[in-house]
């Protein structure tokens, strides 16, 4: 278990991203039950997923195990479930309203980690921070942070708030967050990494995705580069999925890898890596030599 920031919230090295659960309650129950049995006790959702239905399903399934589960949900998308429309609203007033609905749907009286579901530099950042702090003081949330890849937004929250976490896309094929890992760690802010399997390119079934996914390119890589890198990674004679998770979790700033699953079988492919050993330095640096170290060019 890894501690989130300076909070008392602890999460396993692999978390379940619930966006892909779908609306079939029976299938969702199988996935969540399997996750909990395997020790994947951190569930990451958002109020916007299926316009509240995702939170409702999770609430029904975990209400009898609440003290054994870590719940993350998100706020900032002011939505109408009837019209399935939404607009961005990071105001303190909306946060105070939205969390009540999330708590009701999740059938709980507190959220372990509450994240702003995005954010821009034009937001009323101080007001949003005040909203988080008020919710924390009230006991409705235990910790807060942002889900963002924008360097200018991350920088402002890092310097102006007491946030404990940032969720961002990070993989050995998308090393842009590495620009921030050391400084986030210095500020006692944990990273929750999403997209660490790079849309399946780094899964154990990567060959299945090569023609379909590699042709689309990925971040700073074109199709030819992806094919070459995947071949080089295979030379390490370890499962690609293991390399993907171990690489991201190597930096002490990273608390957990958030992996989605739309079936029990997908989750079964990830769960064996929950208790894997850390990647050794030699392998870590070898991977860095064959992949690109890039930075975000926008939102500076």
Of 56, 68, 71, nearest to 21 by C-alpha is 56
Q: Would you call 236 helix, strand, or coil by DSSP?
A: coil
> Between vectors from CA 300 to CA 186 and to CA 77, what angle results, nearest 5°?
90
Catalytic residue list contains 49: yes
Gap between the Cα atoms of 247 and 174, Å rounded: 11
CA trace torsion 198, 204, 208, 213 (10° rounding):
10
Gap between the Cα atoms of 225 and 80, Å rounded: 43
Dihedral sign for Cα atoms in the order 161, 163, 165, 169: negative
Residue whose pair of structure tokens reads 């990494």 in the numeric block: 193
Contact 273, 14 (CB under 8 A): yes
Of 156, 244, 129, nearest to 198 by C-alpha is 244
Strands (E), the chain: 2-3, 10-11, 14-17, 42-44, 70-75, 77-80, 85-88, 111-116, 141-147, 165-169, 190-194, 254-260
Which tokens sit at 134?
A: 């008020």
Gap between the Cα atoms of 144 and 258, Å rounded: 17
Where in the sequence numbering do the catalytic residues fall?
49
């Amino acid at each position: 278990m890894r501690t989130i920031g300076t909070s008392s919230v602890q999460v396993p090295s692999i978390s379940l991203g619930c966006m892909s659960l779908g609306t079939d309650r029976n299938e969702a129950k199988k996935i969540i039950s399997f996750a909990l049995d395997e020790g994947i006790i951190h569930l990451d959702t958002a109020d916007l997923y299926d316009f509240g239905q995702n939170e409702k399903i999770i609430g029904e399934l975990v209400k009898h195990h609440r003290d054994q589960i870590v719940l993350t949900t998100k706020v900032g998308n002011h939505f109408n479930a009837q019209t399935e429309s939404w607009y961005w609203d990071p105001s303190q007033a909306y946060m105070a309203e939205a969390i009540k609905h999330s708590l009701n749907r999740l059938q709980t009286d507190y959220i372990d980690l509450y994240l702003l579901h995005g954010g821009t530099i034009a937001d009323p950042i101080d007001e949003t921070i005040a909203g988080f702090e008020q919710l924390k003081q009230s006991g409705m949330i235990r910790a807060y942070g942002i889900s963002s890849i924008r360097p200018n937004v991350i920088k402002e929250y890092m310097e102006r708030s007491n946030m404990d976490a940032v969720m961002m896309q990070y993989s050995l094929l998308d090393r842009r967050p590495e620009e921030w890992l050391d400084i986030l760690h210095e500020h006692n802010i944990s990273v929750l990494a999403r997209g660490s399997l790079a849309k399946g390119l780094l899964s154990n079934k990567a060959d299945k995705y090569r023609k379909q996914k590699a042709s689309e390119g990925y971040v700073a890589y074109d199709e030819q580069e992806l094919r070459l890198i995947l071949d080089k990674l295979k030379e390490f004679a370890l499962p690609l999925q293991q390399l993907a998770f171990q690489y991201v979790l190597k930096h002490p700033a990273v608390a957990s890898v958030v992996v989605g699953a739309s079936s029990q079988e997908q989750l079964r492919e990830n769960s064996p890596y929950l208790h894997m050993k850390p990647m050794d330095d030699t392998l870590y640096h070898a991977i860095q030599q064959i992949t690109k170290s890039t930075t975000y060019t926008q939102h500076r």
